[in-house]
Structure 1
Amino acid sequence: MAATIGDVARAAGVSRSTVSYVLSGKRPISDETRIRIQAAIEELGFTPNAGARALATAQTNVLGLYLQFQEDEFAPAMLQYVLPVSAAAREHGYDLLMVTDRDLEGAVRRTTSSAMVDGVVLLDVTDDDPRLAPLRHATQPAVLIGYARNGEGFDSFDLDFGEAARMAVDHLAGLGHRDVALITPPCHVYDRGGSYAWRFRDAAVERAARHGIRVIAYDGDSRHPGIEAVLDQAFDASPGITALIVHNDATIAALPAYLNARGMSAPRDVSVVGLFSQEFGQAFSLPFTSIETSPDRLGRQAVTQLIRRIVDPLGAGEPRPRFIEPVLVDRESTGPLTA
């Protein structure tokens, strides 16, 4: 089997994009690194074909990141996905073009048809994402961070939200809880087609039914005082609840102050399980048991696969969805139900 650019990169201990730079002369590479790559090329007998050379010389070494900052969303939640994408692109030698145009399909056509980018990363993925239609006609590969029902033919990376919900419910069931409030993402997330919201909610309700647990779902908010109003509704309408599952970044960030204002604490008065990343929890000093959402892992894996598809399309394999397995991090905000 003929050696690939990936084989050369592994033998030289560098990224595929660095090998591409040496082959194309697109960017300056240190003499030490160049010598290592040339030695690996000779040892492996690697010969880039004409198509690969043409691709290398045509590269812009820019990735497009397509997203929208919605006024009704919690901005820190989005940033925890943007930062690892940016860092991973930089580590691979790529710059990042952030595209936030509200004309979603037009932005995709404009940036791909003019060859402004070598590949595309999609955030804010919806169940029936309109950006995928023009991307099917683009020459550049694309990767989704999130799951789309119409995403066949594209690489995608997402948390297994259904399993995350089952894990949270199982954890509370094991502690004896039978009356649980679920704070979901805001209703506008459902309206815009954010499938992660109903994948988590529906799986939580289904799993709870198997355990004989009553789960009442409340559409959360992303702004004050709506955040507090929803929590008030959950506690006042269902005074028997003993546990909260919070799938809402703005709500979980505000929850310590809210519980303190009500004279409550976890797990003394209510057990709490959230869904957030370790970095998010540190930023807001959250003491709650959580299901890790892994935005850093998702972003880095997505960028790595996209660059693999840019540099070595055949070696990148068939495009497919990949779901990261959730992990429960116990921070002792849940406790056994006491009589």
Structure 2
Amino acid sequence: MVTLAEVARHAGVSASTVSYVLSGKRSISAPTRERVEQSIRQLGYHPNAGARALASSRSHVIALMVPLRTDMYVPVMMEIAMAVATTARTHGYDVLLLTGEEGPAAVRRIAGSSLADAMILMDVELHDQRMPLLRESGRTAVLIGLPADTSGLTCVDLDFEATGALCVEHLAGLGHREVAVIGEAAAVYERHTGFAERTVDGVRAAARNAGTRILHRPCEGGYAATAATLARVFDERPGTTGVIVQNEAAVEPLLNLLQQQGRAVPEDVSVVAVCPDQVATQASVRLTSVAIPAQEMGRRAVEQVMAKLGGRSTDEVDLLEPVLTVRASSGPAPV
């Protein structure tokens, strides 16, 4: 087993310096801290959790709050959670996973105990009831998602407004003037979940600028729900030639239904998705899409936590720029 003294020798510093890097009790210069952290990673040093907690008054645990709801796409949530866990380990931290829909009660439980040194919160709503308690607690916290009011908070997220706009701009540039948005389940919008609301806001703003008509319809996902939603879209807007999908469970049913209806993709209907690259590339028609950078979001959230714990960060909003990849599912609007 690697010892603290061996880490110190490898990094060319004293054992007390390594201890201070681990505990955060004293300010260590950035180059020295980075050298020590690199030695910890290279040697695979794992300090004794009990001794470390006693020495530093820290648990070296991050609480990750991931409410697992049936109306959310769990694989993306879990990919973010895995990125949080693996990045935390590089800093000598473990992750406590809280998956219940407890809301403020979960924040209260962590804030009022020594279970974790920091919190990362996911599934953030625009008017999230956890935010007032989070601000009052003063505990180190980072959000993966944006509430309506980000003051006093540190947030990491994909820029979903820009994502929605990018999808519309791509279709408008191909001549599409009637575009439908097949969105998340209705409950996601009823909760005013940030990413879904912000995407629609971006879609509508870009549509106004481009002179494109938008029809947004929530969808529960799955074949039957997607069939009903698609039928409603063409009943209300028969001239629809572009579809934006932000619902992974509706992607493959949508493509199958269009084929059954004799609507070729992209000759008759162009489809653009907001989804993981794996979903886009494995669909029956390779989808033009904006990827969800799940791993990068998880990694950045942990880095923000570590910066805050080390006194090296102020509250900020870190938005990842969306990237649209053109594949086989989008083309010029039919004449």
Query: TM-score normalised to the size of structure 2?
Result: 0.82
Aligned to 2:319: 323
The answer as to whether partners of 2:243 and 2:272 remain within 8 angstroms in 1 is: yes
The answer as to whether partners of 1:118 and 1:141 remain within 8 angstroms in 2 is: yes
Aligned to 2:19: none
Alignment partners' CA distance in 1, 2:253 and 2:55? 48
How do 1:216-231 and structure 2 match up within 5 A?
216-231=215-230
Identity of aligned residues (%): 32
Pairing 1:14–2:14 present: no
The verdict on how the C-alpha distance between 1:329 and 1:192 changes in structure 2, with shifts beyond 3 A counting, is: same
Pairing 1:262–2:261 present: yes
Aligned to 2:126: 127
Alignment partners' CA distance in 1, 2:227 and 2:122? 28
SS in 2 for 1:158: strand
Q: Number of residue pairs matched? A: 308
SS in 1 for 2:92: coil
Deviations 1:149-181 (A, max 9, x none): 243212101111111122111111111111111
The answer as to whether partners of 2:248 and 2:275 remain within 8 angstroms in 1 is: yes
Q: Unaligned stretches of 5+ in structure 1?
A: 29-52
How do 1:135-146 and structure 2 match up within 5 A?
135-138=134-137, 140-146=139-145
How do 1:12-51 and structure 2 match up within 5 A?
12=36, 14=38, 26=48
Deviations 1:201-248 (A, max 9, x none): 122122212222111111222344212211222134322111111122
Pairing 1:186–2:185 present: yes
Aligned to 2:238: 239
Aligned to 2:165: 166
The answer as to whether partners of 2:66 and 2:123 remain within 8 angstroms in 1 is: yes
Instruction: Tell me the amino acid that sits aligned with residue 334 of structure 2.
Output: T
Aligned to 1:109: 108
Deviation at 1:283, TM superposition (A): 6.2
Deviation at 1:262, TM superposition (A): 3.0
Aligned to 2:6: none
- CA RMSD in angstroms comes to 2.8
Deviation at 1:16, TM superposition (A): 8.6
Alignment partners' CA distance in 2, 1:98 and 1:69? 11
The verdict on how the C-alpha distance between 1:5 and 1:257 changes in structure 2, with shifts beyond 3 A counting, is: farther
Alignment partners' CA distance in 1, 2:208 and 2:31? 51
Deviation at 1:140, TM superposition (A): 3.3
Pairing 1:94–2:93 present: yes
Instruction: Tell me the amino acid that sits aligned with residue 335 of structure 1.
Output: G
SS in 1 for 2:97: strand
Deviation at 1:55, TM superposition (A): 9.1
Alignment partners' CA distance in 2, 1:283 and 1:92? 35
Aligned to 1:47: none
Query: TM-score normalised to the size of structure 1?
Result: 0.81
Aligned to 1:274: 273
The verdict on how the C-alpha distance between 1:102 and 1:17 changes in structure 2, with shifts beyond 3 A counting, is: farther
The answer as to whether partners of 1:129 and 1:150 remain within 8 angstroms in 2 is: no
Deviation at 1:300, TM superposition (A): 0.7
Deviations 1:15-46 (A, max 9, x none): 89999x89xx5469xxxxxxxxxxxxxxxxxx
SS in 2 for 1:182: strand
Alignment partners' CA distance in 2, 1:274 and 1:261? 20
Pairing 1:337–2:327 present: no
Deviation at 1:306, TM superposition (A): 0.7
The answer as to whether partners of 2:123 and 2:145 remain within 8 angstroms in 1 is: yes
